[in-house]
Amino acid sequence: MPIRVLELRSVAGTGGGPDKTLLASAHLANPNVALTLCYLCNAGDAVFPIGEQARAMGLDYVEIRERGALDRSMWRALRELVRTRRFDIVHGHEYKTDLLAYMLGRAEGIIPFATAHGWTGHSWKEKTIYYPADKRLLKRFPRLAAVSSEIKQALVKVGADGRRIDVVLNGIDPARFRRDPVKQAPARAFYNVDAGDVVIGAVGRLEPQKRFDLLIDAFAAVAKDSPSLRLLIAGEGSLRPALQAQIERLGLGNVCRLVGQADVTTFHHALDAYVQSSDYEGTPNVVLEAMALETPFIATDVGGTAELFTDGVHGILIPPGDASVLSKAIVRALSDPAAAAGRVRAARARVETDLSFERRMAKIDRIYEELIEGRSKTN
């Protein structure tokens, strides 16, 4: 019998990097693991796209719509799902589903497991209540995965046993994310990019963590002497009005655009370079996407970013929070095409081997097997 795993996630709106990982995990699961993907979302969330994506991929997907954070029917539905499907492991992915995984373990005898993707929210409640409580809870789990060494150390710091925490970097499917020269012209036309334009791109939630304000400032400094330079930022979030106001204030309305949600592959085919400007990340999927799609990239040295690539070999790594350093890195990325071409070839080779999604899933599947073996020994 395959190991039956309930992947549990709670998210609002369009989701984020962990959701890309969960969808790919369920899509590429091996025959020895039967994955069911369960999402908790608000009943009034009109833009939630995960269910549609999961069904289009043919995944075993369950959606539980909540009528508020304290909707008791959600807990009853989860317990019924566990009993009906007879899951062996429940896998949480953020503070809410970590707690639910732990509670299901106590109530239903299922094995709780969690992946710590990081604690990236910026609200007062998240920083002072939810995230500290999540870290204290996670140290009670029999096994954990952390998407970077930094996240593992954060858990060890609050008392978690480092021997029970595996660092499992995010991976990517190189077959799905592949550059095709034929797609470049249509992609640039889609984004109204002229043939002579040099396009920098960025993808992410328009939230403080991503520091798109810093990227816009850095771009403005470089664009003064480069009239063909363009900046496209894909994503949505609470900072859209503020970022748009910044663009207008700097007189960049004709050369810098917030393009909303985007198909990642199409977006990269319109780009000459990619920038990740964040103050904090777990292990950024956006960097993996740039590596797989052979887009020359710059990324800040935060979270597990430096574990994905070597500076100067695969991409350009810079410290966070400095617009002048970012400006210089943009100039460096664009001024030497031969060096950039060498880096993208090396980056593509790395995602085809060390950072392939198959390798990541093999590590997770092995943890599932060891959790089952450990339970068998104690019974």
Out of 3.40.50.1820, 3.30.460.80, 3.40.50.2000, 3.40.50.300, which CATH number does the structure's domain 3-171+356-378 have?
3.40.50.2000
CA–CA dist 80, 108 (Å, integer): 10
pTM of the predicted structure, to 2 decimals: 0.86
Q: Tokens at residue 347, please?
A: 């980056």
Half-sphere exposure for 94 (CA within 13 Å, toward CB)? 19
Under 8 Å between Cβ of 140 and 111: no
Q: What distance lies between CA 327 and its chain's CA centroid?
A: 25
pLDDT digit string, tens, across residues 279-301? 998 889 999 999 999 999 999 99
Question: According to the model, what pLDDT value does residue 163 have?
Answer: 96
Segment (H or E) for 164: none
**Vertex 286 angle, CA 309 and 177, to 5°:** 90
Is residue 359 within 8 Å of residue 171, measured between CB atoms? yes
User: Could you tell me which residues are beta bridge partners of residue 42?
Assistant: 66
CA distance 116 to 98: 9
Q: Cβ contacts of residue 269 below 8 Å, gap of 6+?
A: 179, 180, 183, 184, 186, 187, 188, 293
The pLDDT assigned to 379 comes to 61
Tally: H helices and E strands in the chain: 16, 13
**Cα 27–30–34 angle (5° rounding)?**
80
Indicate if 181-352 has the same CATH topology as 3-171+356-378: yes
With a pLDDT cut of 90, the percent of the chain lying above it is 76
List the chain pLDDT tens, one digit each, 379 residues: 899 999 999 887 766 777 878 887 777 767 889 999 998 888 777 667 788 888 888 889 998 988 876 678 899 999 999 999 999 999 999 999 999 999 999 999 999 999 999 887 778 898 899 999 999 999 999 999 999 999 999 999 999 999 999 999 999 999 989 999 999 999 999 999 998 999 999 999 999 999 999 999 999 999 999 999 999 999 999 999 999 999 999 999 999 999 999 999 999 999 999 999 999 988 899 999 999 999 999 999 998 999 999 999 999 999 999 999 999 999 999 999 999 999 999 999 999 999 988 889 999 999 999 999 988 776 6
With CA atoms as reference, report the closest residue to 243 among 216, 279, 262. Answer: 216
Within 67-123, where are the H helices?
72-85, 95-108
Phi, psi of 166 (to 5 degrees): -100, 130
Both tokens of 297, joined, read 């990239």
For 181-352, CATH number out of 2.70.70.10, 3.10.450.50, 3.40.50.2000, 3.40.640.10 equals 3.40.50.2000
User: CA angle 39-44-49, nearest 5°?
Assistant: 45
State the CB neighbour count (10 A cutoff) for residue 258: 20
Q: Where are the domains of the chain?
A: 3-171+356-378, 181-352
First to last CA, the chain: 18
Span 2-13, pLDDT tens digits: 999 999 998 877
Helix (H, G, I), strand (E, B) or coil at 293: coil
**Rg for the chain (alpha carbons), in Å?**
21
pLDDT at 29: 67
